[in-house]
Amino acid sequence: MNVQFRYQLILLFVAFHCPGFTYAQSSKVDSLKKLVPSLSATDRIDGLNALSEAFWGMRILDSAQFFAMKAVDESTKIKYGLGLGNALANLATVDYEIGNFVEMEKRSLISISIFTKLHVEKRLANGYALLGQAIWAQSKFDQAIEAFDQAAHYYSRFKDSTALGRTYGRMALLEEERGNYERSFQYCLKALKFNKNEAFFSLGQLYADVGDYETAREYYGKISQRLKVGTYLKIGETYYLQTNYDSAQYYYQLYIRESRDVSKKTLTKAYALLGGLYLKLEKYDTALFYLNIALTDFEKDNNRNWIMRVLLELGKAYKESGEVSKAIKTTNELLTTAEESGARQYIRDAHYLLFQLFDRLEQKNSAYLHLKQYTALNNEIGIDISARKLSFYKTSHEREQAQLKIALLSQQRQLQQEELKQASQQREFLYMGILAIALLAFVLVRNVLLKKREEKHLRELAETELRIQKLETKKQLGDLEMQVLRTQMNPHFLFNSLNSINRFILQNNKSQASLYLTKFSRLVRMILQNSQNKLITLEQELDSLKLYLSLEALRFDDHFMFAITVQDDLDVSALKVPPLIIQPYVENAVWHGLMHKEEKGQLDIDVLSEKGFLYIKIMDNGIGRQKATMLQEKADTTHKSMGIGITSQRIAMLEEPSSKGSVAINDLVEINGTPCGTEVILKLPIMYD
């Protein structure tokens, strides 16, 4: 057997077995090590590169690096371009595993230059993929997307579906990381066609972003066993976001145990996440210890994505531990890095943290400027998040329709006529769903235009306000905080209503879906009209409240009755109230009081005036707050509504020259002390135009 033929066998073996090397295959690597010394010139260099790739497949990084360096030295001596390009690509692969991203970028660029001159397009695909990973880790997002696009182009030409799916999966994670969620979702769909592991990982991340942590963990669980360790940090993060800190800590520690033998660099992310966990547990010294270790390692590797994440957590930790000056310095570093990288979510979070810090120092002007920038950016990102949620609901619906179609096709021939009838009904429901999505899209676009107009007005107002005395600045700051609270209310309510429409559609309940969709469209139109004004008439508020309650009663099969009573001498068409000021308390009474009641419930809303104030009493005969709290804790819900807290802050900020709003919540009990419901009393200043 001649040398060239033997080496061809080596290359075939490595190409087919490197990705899945096991301990049992180490004897074959030993055979390669014995064979390489007998080779010479270019054959020897190719053999060294084959050994480097084999050891990388076994995750023995020191040996992979050693043989690649030898290939570099020998290729340079005899001016063997292809061998040098392959060796540099192998070193770049090892650099990624150990976090040496700056050196990885340099080696990838040189290998790409070599492969371009030699017209080796198959190796160019791998070179561009490595370059994309290296510069992505340094938060050069636009350049990374360009490199991945080049890699995808070459992988597509040579029909390398596995590598193509892996590339699309990385592009999905990159776009998600910099806040372009719709693009990320589209790349997920592309990855799903070629490489399910990459698609499952990206989809898990996106479902975690929208708060569906159970589905996120389902996707992580679908990833093949050999890649399971890489999901432990992500699974831990889903538990962390659910405030299930014990489970989060378990998966972080599990990742540390499973990764310890691979590379110390792989532990840095786990240290960063543990730092964030201890911050939530209010163990600030421990949090600072882990976060500073992680920051040092990430800065050495110029891993700017994780640098920004750790800087944000450090700023919060310094703030909570009382080290305000360190917190401001750290947060300013985050803002500078985020602005250079174009990471909108970190720019937003940095502005909000600086607002809190300057507000604590009572530097109101600086606080106001950062709050204004946070508000504008938060509104932008909020629109992206709404669009992302719509995409997920639409995709879930299409997937379930496909599953239904497969089930129907497997039935006997006598059911074919019924299948056509059901398909027609499904199209009707799909059209109704599309109409609902189009209506909500119209609402979002309209809000964008209105907010741009409002931002222009705020800029003009800000220039005047900065010249006013300190007391006036404080009042304007309060008004802007109320604006932030209002913008957080509307998406919350719209999301719950859209979820109800989706449920009716999936249940094929045509009549209920049609009735609910009709009422929901009216309610959306009311919200669109009311949200343009800081104050609306009491009549408009009560009309939207009646429509909301009728929607809830319809959704829960008339499980409760309601009545709204207004004092005779009140002019509801003249009195003014903030929009959606009553609805969160009514929603709380329905969901946590009446829905858990076995028999039909009753909700009464009384509106009256007394001594210059408007009183709104909300009374339910539900199960009471104590029992509701116990049920909620047992339910282990993943969603925590902020509606009550936000609305109570809005009411507290309603301040007229001689009056101020307030909220009182009373537990109702029978004579024998048994809980029989809850009473909420809203006290609002009487306001007119």
How do 601-610 and 576-577 pair as beta strands? unpaired
What are the tens digits of pLDDT across the range 295-311?
988 888 777 778 888 99
Say if CB 92 and CB 107 are below 8 A apart.
Answer: yes
How do 601-610 and 560-566 pair as beta strands? parallel
Residue 226 CA to its chain's centroid (Å): 26
Say if CB 385 and CB 344 are below 8 A apart.
Answer: no
Q: How far apart are CA 670 and CA 675, in angstroms?
A: 6
Mean pLDDT of 601-616: 92
pLDDT band at 435 (very low <50, low <70, confident <90, very high): confident
Q: Lowest mean pLDDT of 69-73, 654-658, 663-667, 682-686, name the range.
A: 654-658
Query: What is the structure's pLDDT at 631?
Result: 76
Classify residue 503 as exposed, middle or buried by CB count within 10 Å of its CB (0-12, 13-18, 19+): middle
Query: What is the structure's pLDDT at 393?
Result: 47
Q: How many helices (DSSP H) and strands (DSSP E) are in the chain? A: 27, 9
Collapse the DSSP code of 80 into the 3-class scheme (helix H, G, I; strand E, B; otherwise coil) and give the result.
Answer: coil
Query: What is the structure's pLDDT at 383?
Result: 56
The mean predicted confidence, pLDDT, of the chain is 79
In this prediction, what percent of the chain has a pLDDT beyond 70?
Answer: 79
Q: Is the pLDDT of residue 366 over 70?
A: yes
Classify residue 630 as exposed, middle or buried by CB count within 10 Å of its CB (0-12, 13-18, 19+): exposed
Tokens of 652: 């507290």
Mean pLDDT of 143-159: 90
Q: How far apart are CA 343 and CA 335, in angstroms?
A: 10
Query: What is the structure's pLDDT at 27?
Result: 63
Residue 212 burial (CB count, 10 A): 20
Q: How far apart are CA 380 and CA 307, in angstroms?
A: 24
Mean pLDDT of 192-220: 81
Query: What is the structure's pLDDT at 323?
Result: 92
Say if CB 680 and CB 665 are below 8 A apart.
Answer: yes
Mean pLDDT of 212-236: 81
Query: What is the structure's pLDDT at 13?
Result: 39
pTM more than 0.85: no
Which contacts of 59-67 are long-range, i.e. CB under 8 A and separated by 24 or more positions?
59/97, 59/262, 61/94, 61/97, 61/98, 61/262, 61/263, 64/90, 64/93, 64/94, 65/91, 65/94
Task: Give the closest residue to 327 by CA, choosing from 336, 340, 317, 339.
Answer: 317
Mean pLDDT of 348-376: 90
Q: Name which residue leads in pLDDT, 432 or 582.
A: 582
What are the tens digits of pLDDT across the range 46-69?
888 888 888 887 778 888 899 999
Mean pLDDT of 596-620: 91
How do 613-620 and 601-610 pair as beta strands? antiparallel
Tokens of 35: 């064979």
Mean pLDDT of 87-99: 87
What are the tens digits of pLDDT across the range 480-515?
445 544 544 455 556 666 776 777 777 777 777 777
Mean pLDDT of 595-608: 90
Say if CB 437 and CB 494 are below 8 A apart.
Answer: no
Query: What is the structure's pLDDT at 635?
Result: 62
Residue 559 burial (CB count, 10 A): 16
Domain boundaries defined on the chain: 533-689
Q: Lowest mean pLDDT of 417-426, 502-511, 637-646, name the range.
A: 637-646
Task: Give the closest residue to 478 by CA, choosing from 312, 589, 359, 332.
Answer: 359
DSSP per-residue letters across 308-327: HHHHHHHHHHHHHTT-HHHH
Query: What is the structure's pLDDT at 389?
Result: 52
Q: Name which residue leads in pLDDT, 440 or 608.
A: 608
Mean pLDDT of 401-405: 46
Residue 391 burial (CB count, 10 A): 20
Continuous segment of H or E residues that includes residue 577:
strand 576-577
CATH architecture of 533-689: 2-Layer Sandwich (3.30)
Query: What is the structure's pLDDT at 72?
Result: 93
Q: Is the pLDDT of residue 397 over 70?
A: no
Which residues, in sequence order, are bridge partners of residue 655? 660
Say if CB 179 and CB 164 are below 8 A apart.
Answer: no
Residue 291 burial (CB count, 10 A): 29
Q: How far apart are CA 64 and CA 35, in angstroms?
A: 17
